[in-house]
Structure 1
């Protein structure tokens, strides 16, 4: 599968969130509130970006990644998911450009609390298991039709 750079999604996040309140402010509307679909159903698409590099150990292996997907992600999203290999890069606080192999998982869900809690559990488990600082999460309302 062709690689996809993280630069465009990261730029999109920066532009899309300029002037937004903190994500911790739960008083605001849910993602996509007020979005109507001419065709299909309204759902939330969540993209999760997982870096493969670790601080003190070799990178996450393909076998470790697949075991994580099989035991942590799939049980929470049995209806399905899509995963991509992506090439990421970011500017470290030292002004060094860091390039990193990454994985992207795309999930479609109803945007409810159970889905939110499942996604947060996935992010926390990955950070703990693979010594990561963060897992980027992007939520967007979409219209889907099968």
Structure 2
């Protein structure tokens, strides 16, 4: 069991820093390269949607890490029923520097969802995060939302 002195929320921030900085790309864009804005804004190509990325750490205090079987059951019972049109999942490696100066590494999972950006989808995402935290004794699940233009 690894000792943790830094909250899981900070782990999520370290995991997502490169992605989060790209999420703010619209601030300096000119009229020739407009940001899609919130889902529903005009897109030069594709359709406006919202991309949500959720970062789930697999380590647990006082228990073994979340197993692949437990993770898949969570995806099958908590995520898929709420986002039946599909999702993408990635195995990712997270790390953060604890206040002790020790580098902590943690296996994590990233779920990427595309949706309309509405309140129903947002509430479903928050329910997924809450369920994971309760089921697996987690402090946090990082959520990043970004407006995107999507073509299939």
Tell me if the contact between 1:45 and 1:107 (Cα under 8 Å) persists in the aligned partners.
Answer: yes
1:75 has 2:81 as partner: yes
Cα separation, partners in 2 of 1:73 and 1:15, compared to 1, 3 Å: closer
**Larger helix percent:** 2
CA contact (8 A) 1:39 1:144 kept: yes
Distance 1:96 1:15, change over 3 A: farther
Max radius of gyration: which structure?
A: 2
Distance 1:105 1:73 in 2: 9
TM alignment of 1:93-108, pairs within 5 A? 93-108=99-114
Instruction: Select which of 53, 60, 63 maps to 1:47.
Output: 53
Match of 1:111 among 88, 104, 117: 117
Number of positions where the alignment pairs a residue of Structure 1 with one of Structure 2 = 128
How far has the Cα of 1:124 moved from its partner?
A: 0.5
Unaligned runs of 5+ in 2: 1-12, 25-35
For residues 57-97 of structure 1, what are the alpha-carbon distances to aligned partners after superposition, in whole Å with 9 as ceiling and x for unaligned? 00000000000000000000000000000001122344332
Give, in whole Å, the separation in 1 of the partners of 2:58 and 2:15.
19
Q: Does 1:13 align with 2:25?
A: no
2:67 pairs with 44, 57, 61, which one?
A: 61
1:32 maps to 2:26: no
Query: TM-score, length-normalised on structure 2?
Result: 0.76
5+ residue gaps, structure 1, are 1-5, 18-30
C-alpha contact 1:43 1:111 (8 A) present in aligned 2: yes
Q: Could you tell me how far 1:10 is from its partner in structure 2?
A: 1.9
Whether the 8 Å contact between 1:32 and 1:44 is mirrored in structure 2 is no
Whole-Å Cα distance in 2 between the matches of residues 124 and 93 of structure 1? 27
